[in-house]
């Protein structure tokens, strides 16, 4: 009865964005609970919705009070952080930013990246209710926050998304490819229309009406000069792995090969692929390749 009532109240948005319809007030995990320094950021979107984000900025732990012969020890906090990549993170549709702090920790601690963790409208402590148009505005606002930031604006920007969050990343990356250095996506779908018969067979007859988030079309429009890393759990019980394979093929049309790769994890399920052996090694290698070697200019 509760599900039926919720469906009547919220319609298909409840199916697409269940994490945005949790009861309030909400209590979220914070990076400080993991020993990570952070800033709780409020970003105002172009339609005047206030969304929240966790910002983790690198600190120069080698800096000393006295001048040193080691240049690294003389760098200011701003100079140090500006030499590191910035990861813009998009979580899945049933998650919130508190759930994915362990992933942000990998980027921040192990790879020495700055991290902006977006909480889109309706999720966590952000205002509003999710919609396709609204979530695109949220993603754009988060990217604009980075490129307008006095420190982060100087850094290479890499988008990272899981599941539905990867669809946000693909859409944002395609539309704003000149502003980002690379794209990392995990366990996502080609389109909602193709996914619904797999994930929610009971709604198969309605699938044709779901035209949102056509990632297959979007990624085929992404210039080959934009590097992409795809991470796929072959035991994904929600989004069949063939969706990821189709996305990779669309990203590399006519036998052409962009920088990046599709990495498959034989034992990865939808919610634990990130914890599979070799996952973070693949991510770290990709980030290192983007930030330490010459990358073609994105046009």
Exposed, middle or buried: residue 294 (CB in 10 Å: 0-12, 13-18, 19+)? Answer: exposed
CATH number of the domain that residue 281 is part of? 3.40.50.1820
Give the pLDDT confidence score for residue 42 in this predicted structure.
98
20 belongs to a structural domain = no
Residue 8 placed within a domain? no
Query: For every residue of 11-24, which 3-state class applies, written as one string?
Result: CHHHHHCHHHHCCC
Name the band, by pLDDT with cuts 50, 70 and 90, for residue 211: low
Q: Is the pLDDT of residue 207 over 60?
A: no
Residues with catalytic roles: 163, 236, 270
Q: Is the pLDDT of residue 3 over 50?
A: no
Whether 181 maps to a domain, the answer reads yes
CA–chain centroid gap for 26, Å, is 22
Domain count for the chain: 1
pLDDT at position 27 over 90: no
pLDDT band at 205 (very low <50, low <70, confident <90, very high): low
* Average pLDDT of span 136-158: 97
Residue 116 belongs to a domain: yes
> Can you spell out the DSSP letters for 163-228?
THHHHHHHHHHHHTGGG-SEEEEES--S-HHHHHHHH-GGGGGGGGG--S--HHHHHHTS-TTS-E
- On whether residue 155 sits in a domain, the answer given is yes
The reply to whether 2 falls in a domain is no
The whole-angstrom separation of Cα 98 and Cα 186 is: 18
Distance (Å, rounded) from C-alpha 271 to C-alpha 155? 30
Question: Model-level pTM?
Answer: 0.89
In tens, the pLDDT along 49-63 reads: 999 999 999 998 765
Residue 13 domain flag: no
For residue 63, what pLDDT is reported? 52
What is the per-residue pLDDT across 260-294, written as a single tens digit (0 to 9) for each? 999 999 999 999 999 999 999 999 999 999 988 54
Nearest CA among 295, 276, 286 for reference residue 113: 286
Mean pLDDT within 214-227:
95
Domain that holds residue 187: 34-292
In a domain, 7, yes or no: no
Confidence of residue 200 (pLDDT cuts 50, 70, 90): low
């Amino acid at each position: 009865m509760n599900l039926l009532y919720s469906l009547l109240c919220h319609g298909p948005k409840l199916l697409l964005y269940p994490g945005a319809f949790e009861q309030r007030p909400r209590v979220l995990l914070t990076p400080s609970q993991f020993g990570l320094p952070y800033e709780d950021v409020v970003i105002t979107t172009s339609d005047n919705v206030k969304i929240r984000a966790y910002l983790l900025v690198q600190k120069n732990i080698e800096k000393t009070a006295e001048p040193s012969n080691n240049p690294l020890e003389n760098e200011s906090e701003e100079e140090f952080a500006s030499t590191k990549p910035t990861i813009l993170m998009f979580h899945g549709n049933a998650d919130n930013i508190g759930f994915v702090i362990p992933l942000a920790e990998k980027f921040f601690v192990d790879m020495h990246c700055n991290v902006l963790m977006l909480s889109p409208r309706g999720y966590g402590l952000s205002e509003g209710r999710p919609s396709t148009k609204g979530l695109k505005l949220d993603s754009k606002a988060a990217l604009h926050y980075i490129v307008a930031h006095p420190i982060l604006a100087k850094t290479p920007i890499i988008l990272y998304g899981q599941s539905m969050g990867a669809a946000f990343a693909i859409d944002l990356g395609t539309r704003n490819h000149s502003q980002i250095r690379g794209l990392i996506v995990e366990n996502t779908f080609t389109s909602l229309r193709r996914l619904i018969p797999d994930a929610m067979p009971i709604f198969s007859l309605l699938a044709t009406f779901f035209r949102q988030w056509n990632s297959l079309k979007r990624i085929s429009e992404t210039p080959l000069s934009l590097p992409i890393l795809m991470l796929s759990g072959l035991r994904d019980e929600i989004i069949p792995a063939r969706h990821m394979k189709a996305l990779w093929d669309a990203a590399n049309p006519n036998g052409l090969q962009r920088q990046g790769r599709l990495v498959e994890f034989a034992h990865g399920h939808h919610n634990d692929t990130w914890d599979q052996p070799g996952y973070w090694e693949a991510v770290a290698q990709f980030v290192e390749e983007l930030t330490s070697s010459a990358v073609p200019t994105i046009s």
